[in-house]
Amino acid sequence: MNNNEGPEVLIAEEDIRKRVAAFADQISRDYAGKGKLVLVGVLKGAFILLADLSRRLTIPHRVEFIAVSSYGKSSVSTGAVRLIMDLREDIDNKHVLIVEDIVDTGHTLHYLLSLLKARSPASLRTCALVRKSERAQIDVSIDYLGFDVPDVWVVGYGLDYAEQYRTLPYIGILHPREEAKHTPTPGDGC
């Protein structure tokens, strides 16, 4: 697509669908016979991935949500993570999988791993749709990774810019001319 039609396609809808199916198959195998898995979706960005993933799993699971912010009023992460909404159910002695839309600097995922590990889960693993490894400031382990992407502003499939583009069925690159049309709002995480 060109800039007049919307974000340039970086990862096609079909490629995302195949990767989510592969996640679901692998997670279902890894957690088979271990009891109910707790999927923790990081709001708002992970809601589409979480919905698609949870529908494809063949193992017992439940869905929880958590919300954090590390952007303040900027489009650049401050590195300081703030808990906005916590889990509603206890995860003590449960197998937990954090489902994240994007891992950028690593601060948000590092914070979540520390926060949830202190609650004594039976296991704690991570799933992220995309990672910008060039921007990493903290090394965090991602157990199920969809795609590595370049250091560009990506939108779609849950990822947003100023609360726009989140529901695109693909992941696209938002170019500077498109970014200039919007004033950034607080983001979901990094």
The answer as to whether 153 is a domain residue is yes
pLDDT value, residue 6: 81
The answer as to whether 163 is a domain residue is yes
Count CA atoms within 13 Å of residue 184 on its CB side. Answer: 14
The answer as to whether 186 is a domain residue is no
Q: Which domain holds residue 35?
A: 8-179
Among 101, 104, 160, 188, the one annotated catalytic: 104
pTM for the model: 0.86
Strand order through the sheet with 61-69: 82-85, 61-69, 37-43, 95-103, 123-131, 144-148
The answer as to whether 95 is a domain residue is yes
pLDDT tens for the 190 residues of the chain, in order: 444 568 999 999 999 999 999 999 999 999 999 999 999 999 999 999 999 999 999 999 999 999 998 755 445 555 688 899 999 999 999 999 999 999 999 999 999 999 999 999 999 999 999 999 888 899 899 999 999 999 999 999 999 999 999 999 999 999 866 555 544 443 444 4
* Sign, CA torsion 164/102/104/177: negative
Q: How many domains does the chain have?
A: 1
The answer as to whether 150 is a domain residue is yes
The answer as to whether 187 is a domain residue is no
The answer as to whether 184 is a domain residue is no
Q: The tokens 């969809």 sit on which residue?
A: 146
The answer as to whether 172 is a domain residue is yes
Check if 52 is active-site: no
**Residue 28 maps to which CATH number?**
3.40.50.2020
